[in-house]
Structure formats: C-alpha cells, structure tokens
Amino acid sequence: MAALQDLRAEIFREDDAISQLNAFSRPYKHSPHSLLVILGSDQEDFYCRAIGMIAMPMQASRKNPRVVEHQAISWPNVTCEVSKLIIFEAAQVSRNDQHPRGRAFGERLLSDQLIRQLIIIIRNLVQSAILGIESSCDETAAAVVENGALIRSSVVASQLDVHGKYGGVVPELASREHLRAIVPVVRQALEDAKLNLEDISAVAVTAGPGLVGALLVGLTYAKALCFARQIPLIAINHVEGHIHSVLIENPAILFPALALVVSGGHTHLFEVREPGQYRLLGKTRDDAAGEAYDKVAKLLGFGYPGGPVIDRLAPYGNPRSVKFTLARMKGNELDFSFSGLKTAVLRWTEERDLTEEVARRKANLDRSLQGWLAVTPQTTLDMLASFQYTVIHELLGRAVAAADEIATESVIVAGGVACNAGLQKAALELPGVSFYFPSAALATDNAAMIAAAAFPKLLRQDFAGFDLKAQASLMLA
C-alpha cells in the first residue's frame, strides 16, 4: 500500500533510453487538456500505474504526420502520474526485440489483452460519463449520465404519432423510425451534455427484451461507435434499466428491496438484493398491466396509448360499481393475470351495445379531459373506475405480499404504469411500506436509465463483445 501511495511525476525511469530525446510532450490538438507522449523505438522498459487517469490508445494518422512509426498514448489531462515501483511484465518490451522500422511500440503493447484492460481501467478512474442508447420499442432515446447519478442530458424521440392511428406499435414502422432518429438523437444528447465521444467512458445499449428489429438499430449503432472510437460496450437489460430509473433519483433506498416493474410489455416482481442482483418472485402469465390498459382503451374508442386517458377519467366514476373478479393463481400466488379482466370488459361492452358511443369517441378531436368527458357517459366512467381499481388492487396486493415474503419495507415501482396517478395515490396510503416512484420523465422508456444501470458494470469492467445479439425475450432473473 505504501508503494501505491508513493506517487511519482515521472513517466519513465530516469536512467532509461527515453531520456535521450526519444520522447517529448505536447498538447494534442484535438484535446487541449491532454498530454501526448510519443514512445521511442529504443525504449527499454515501460512502467505504468493506474492512479486516477485513463490512457486512451491513439493510432498514428495522416492528420498527424509527426507520429508515423509508433503508437501514441494520450491522457485527458496532465495530472497523470506513473509510479516506477510497479512494473507490469506484459508491458515490458526489450530494446533488442524492437526494430527501428518494425511495428510500432504501441501496437505491440496494445496487442496484449491485459494491456487493453489496463488502459480502460486507468481511463475509467477519471472519466465516468456513460452514453446510453435505448431503442427497444417505440422511442429512440440517448442520454449521458455521470457516476450513475448525474443526468447530463436525456433526449427521447417518440413515435406516438406514427403508431397512434394503428392502435398500437407496428414493429416494422418502429424499426424504420429508429433508423431515422438514432443519429440525430445521439448527437443531440452529446451536445446537450457538452461532451464529445472522446469524453465518454462507455456506451450502454439495451440488448433486450423488446422488438428485435428495434433493438438491432440501437445495438448496431452502439457497436459501430465503440468499434470506431475504441470505447467499451455495455449490454443492459431493459427491465433492469427501469429499476435504475428509480434508484437514480432515490439513492437512499435500503436493500434488499422489492421491485414492481409494470409497463405495456412487462409486469414483474423482483427481489433486489443490491443493484445488479435480482431474484424473480412473480410475473404476468398473459397480458402485462399496461397492455390491458391499452387494449381496453382501444376497445372503447379512446385510442393509443389509452392508459393515461383511463387514469384521467377514472376519478369521475364509481370504482365499486362493476364487480370484476380478481385473478386467482394456481402455483405461484405472486404471478399476475390480466387477460380475464380484459375479457370481462369486452363482455360488459357487448351487453350494452356501445357501438355509437365508441364511434363518437373515435371521431372526437378534443383530446383534453373535458373533451373526453363530453363523449363518455357516467356508466362508462363507472366501469373505467372499476377497471382501474381492480388493476391497482392486483398490483399492490401482490407487491405487499412479496414485500412481506422477503421481509422488506422498500418497494420500487418502475415502468410506464408507474405514472398512473391512481396507483401512486393508493400505494402511498398503504401503511408499513415505503413506495418509490420515478419522475414522469424517467418512468417511460428513456436512455438515462440505461446509462445509470451500466455504471456498476463499468466499475466491474463487465463489458460486452461485438458478438452481442439482440434478444427479444431476454430475462433479468
């Protein structure tokens, strides 16, 4: 430990050949705060130590004709210190093994995987800005997050206008829209963060679950950035990203905690022992809760997405007017089911012949609350209130049961349905359990949550290879 604390301002040993004018320093023109060190061909030994910097490998190029023989290593600023007390044998290159016209010293050095890992470690000790990319469904998003907590930028390009007229997400159209949006969205995120790709420590990208065509757009673009700029690639599970959308704003959550992830595509219960360690406790066996909201809204002529509309109208109805049957699960009692509830709503509408009423709502151009109330009779408002009451009862009932099972008082609610005002109100009224919800901007799909989820993996050096594949049904636990 004493050796690690003995910081030296020397880059190489005083007595080696590098002192014979075979190395010199100058600011690199593209990075005003960097120090560029050119390595001579007759250098004897290379001593390096990660103390708070990251060394970025930089290949010689025609734009910099003075660096033609050897690999260069640059540091983001001049505070880098290298100790001569620690020697990495894999980094030692004998003078006798080098030839003045042979391969560059740096090329030989960086060919070893150990040295590549060392360079990444040194860089990450100073830089912790992660570029997140999200394209799992119908939103193209990019964000820059520092230290897993500070959101420097977050940009989301929504496709609601594209899919709204179809009553749901059309996978082929979603992929095409991602192709149009991915480049400008990433550029905007970097501009808003006032950073360049040279300042990014890693690129985090959603690898699944989601629409495979949509996932491929973000994944391919992330791979291209990492390959071109030699930046580490981190694969993130979309569901884990939703959990981190709450953790990023509530760092004081006590673990173990329970996570209820509820959205248009997911309804899961996880035990979160600590960030990165999850155990699946329950999941939906058919429709997700958000999917049930959207299908009921489409059935009644409210359009897509229907969850927010039902949430706004539910307070104007009687939640106990329609007695919907709660799902009774065989086997795992913490599992969910919403297909029966959706079918019950269908039967209710068929019994009352709502054809004209639904047609009026479809033709309604006033999408405000008052506009919807004007075309929705009280009986329908009562049914919507009863539907929402039943969904909330199912979600919170199993969440509380799961929290008791793992003996925790901390419950994380994440995903698009976490924006539901009725759900939030009911959860906060429950005694003995602390519920944590994300802000509205982080509840729906975004890239800030993906970048935040990548920070623990960055610290562990848990990087993905370029053979990473999009997985439509990727499991978190």
Q: From first to last of the 477 residues of the chain, give the pLDDT tens digit.
A: 444 344 333 333 334 433 333 333 333 333 333 333 333 333 333 333 333 333 333 333 333 333 333 333 333 333 333 333 333 334 444 444 444 544 555 555 555 556 656 656 665 555 689 999 999 999 999 999 999 999 999 999 999 889 988 888 999 999 999 999 999 999 999 999 999 999 999 999 999 999 999 999 999 999 999 999 999 999 999 999 999 999 999 998 999 999 999 998 899 999 999 989 999 999 999 999 999 999 999 999 998 888 999 999 999 999 999 999 888 888 899 999 999 999 999 999 999 989 999 999 999 989 899 999 999 999 999 999 999 999 999 999 999 999 999 999 999 999 999 999 999 999 999 998 999 999 999 999 999 999 999 999 999 999 999 999 999 999 998
List Cβ<8 Å contacts ≥24 apart for 366-373: 369/312, 369/313, 372/302, 372/309, 372/312, 372/313, 373/313, 373/316
Q: Where are any strands of DSSP class E within 124-176?
A: 129-134, 139-146, 150-158
Domains 129-243+447-460 and 255-437 in one fold: yes
Q: In CATH, what is the architecture of 255-437?
A: 2-Layer Sandwich (3.30)
Nearest to 215 by CA among 265, 164, 275: 265
The DSSP secondary-structure symbol of 55 reads P
Q: Model-level pTM?
A: 0.74
Q: Where are any strands of DSSP class E within 242-390?
A: 257-262, 267-274, 277-283
Q: Where are any strands of DSSP class E within 4-128?
A: 25-28, 31-38, 56-58, 72-75
Q: Give the domain ranges of the chain.
A: 2-124, 129-243+447-460, 255-437
User: Angle, to 10 degrees, between the axis of helix 289-299 and the axis of helix 378-405?
Assistant: 170
Q: Where are any strands of DSSP class E within 180-266?
A: 202-208, 233-237, 257-262
* CA dist., res. 460 & res. 291, Å (int): 36
Question: How many Å is the Cα radius of gyration of the chain?
Answer: 28
Q: Are 258 and 406 in contact (CB under 8 A)?
A: yes
Tokens for 262, please give them.
């509820």
Q: What is the CATH number of domain 129-243+447-460?
A: 3.30.420.40
Q: Considering Cα of 138, then 144, then 146, then 150, what sign does the dihedral take?
A: negative
